[in-house]
Amino acid sequence: MMTLLKLFPLIAIQLILYSCTSAIELKDEAAVENTKGIEFKIHDLLISDITENDFSVSLGYTKDESVYTSVLFYCNETDNPGCDPRVGNNVVLTTSPTNFYKNIKNLANQNDPSDTLNLVAIVYKDSIEISSITSVVTLKSNPIMNLSIDSDIDDGEIDESSSGFLPDGEINETVYVGNWSGVSTWGYFRFRLSSDIPKNSTVKSVIFRTRGVGVLFWNSPLHFLNIYMNDSDDAPQVTTYNDRISGINGNVATINSVRWPSTGGLNWNQAGENTSPNLSLLLQELVDKNDGLSKDNHIQLWINSPNFGVDAEVLIADRGNSDFDTTLEVTWEY
């Protein structure tokens, strides 16, 4: 090498420089090729947060530097078997660096709980479809229990003004509810659960319906009722005056109560159905406290009114009354 440098110094230096330059150029070309070699690829279409009205989707992907968009199409398989989601409803998915996603809301306008929807997520580049993936989702169904009073001993009246235990109510199998002589006249109504309500369930609705058969000194613009539940995972039957709420036998009310109606006075239907506000707050308290409630156990409503300074009662048809029509509708989500 020393001889070459001495004899041909300029040629040797040029050869060395050319060799280095070529190596650098080859390395740069390889890096560009690797970058361009990243291909767009979609992963699984994940479905979560399913309710009776909503669900969420997430479509992961690997991509190059190009811009991609995605649209989710869906149709109702239950109502229209074999439907093609591409001609159904659609929503543009939000784009993040790693996935397309969206919470699809308010489906009740076109769909019902427990309906099955066909889905297809389509990915576009420059408005041209390049990939797609299909799936299905079944909307949740809110379980509903329609409960009634099993027997005549499961409803009745406690009259604190006379220390009275009245399992058939007062005159003509009629339960008087409100206040009399400054103390409560309680109506109690016991229902057997027809299915479990599991731990962590969300109680959506509890509606009490009963047939009114009259009033005593009831002032509709001013007077109202209060509703409680037995604080128990299986409310016992009332068999004595001492079984009343806060009586010596240990029955206690839920911490929460519900005013009927929520504001103003109660216009009591004296010859027809009366419908309570939503009592879900009361049942939710029991579900949370007892880690759920079991089938064939009982929940019991207690209804009275505040002391208005005057006597005031509404009249309800007891289980033994020919006009009896008392029910409890329970809806929950799990």
Res 20 pLDDT > 80: no
What are 302-323's pLDDT values in tens digits? 999 999 999 999 999 999 999 9
212, 268 Cβ separation under 8 angstroms: yes
Domain extents for the chain? 41-138, 144-333
Does residue 71 sit in helix, strand or coil?
strand
Instruction: Please provide the average confidence, as pLDDT, over all residues in the chain.
Output: 88
Res 185 pLDDT > 80: yes
Nearest to 66 by CA among 120, 124, 122, 121: 124
The residue with tokens 């649209």 is 71
297, 291 Cβ separation under 8 angstroms: no
pLDDT the model gives residue 250: 80
Quote the pTM value.
0.67
The residue with tokens 């009662």 is 313
Does residue 34 sit in helix, strand or coil?
helix
How far is the CA of 313 from the CAs of 154, 159, 217, 228, 302, in angstroms? 21, 11, 7, 17, 14
pLDDT the model gives residue 27: 34
How many angstroms separate the CA atoms of 152 and 308, rounded? Answer: 30
Q: Which residues contact 196 (CB under 8 A, 6 or more apart)?
A: 292, 293, 294, 295
Fold classification of 41-138 (topology level) = Immunoglobulin-like (2.60.40)
pLDDT the model gives residue 37: 53
CA dihedral 78, 80, 86, 92 (to 10 degrees): -50
> Would strands 202-216 and 55-62 be described as parallel, antiparallel, or unpaired?
unpaired
How far is the CA of 199 from the CAs of 131, 202, 236, 289, in angstroms? 42, 9, 22, 9
How far is the CA of 288 from the CAs of 190, 195, 198, 203, in angstroms? 20, 17, 10, 10
pLDDT the model gives residue 314: 98
| ∠ Cα 102 105 109 (to 5°) | 145
How many angstroms separate the CA atoms of 117 and 109, rounded? Answer: 14
